[in-house]
Copies of this chain bind each other. A is one copy, B any other.
Amino acid sequence: MSDKKKPANQTLRLDNQLCFALYSTSLAMTKMYKPMLDANGLTYPQYLVMLVLWEEDGLTVSQIGERLFLDSGTLTPLLKRMESTGLLLRLRDTEDERRVYVGLTAAGNSLRRTATDLPSCVQSLTGCSLSEIVSLSENIKAFRQRLMR
Task: Identify the A interface with B (CB < 8 A).
Answer: 5-6, 8-9, 11-33, 44, 48, 51-52, 54-57, 67-69, 112, 115-116, 118-120, 122, 125-128, 133-134, 136-137, 139-141, 143-144, 146-148
Please tell me if the beta carbons of A136 and B18 are within 8 angstroms of each other in the complex: yes
Beyond known contacts A9-B116, A15-B141, A22-B26: 12 more, CB 8 A cutoff: A5-B56, A6-B55, A11-B119, A14-B52, A16-B137, A18-B140, A21-B141, A23-B29, A25-B144, A25-B147, A28-B147, A136-B140
Q: Of all chain B residues, which has the CB nearest A57?
A: B6
A133 to chain B, nearest CB (A): 5
- Specify how many copies of this chain sit in the oligomer: 2
Interface residues of chain A: helix, strand, loop or mixed (majority): helix
Please tell me if the beta carbons of B23 and A30 are within 8 angstroms of each other in the complex: yes
Query: Which chain B residues border A15 with CB–CB below 8 Å?
Result: 141
Please tell me if the beta carbons of A141 and B25 are within 8 angstroms of each other in the complex: yes
Listed by A's residue number, 10 A-B pairs whose Cβ atoms lie within 8 Å are A5-B56, A9-B112, A9-B116, A11-B119, A12-B51, A12-B112, A12-B119, A16-B137, A26-B26, A139-B139
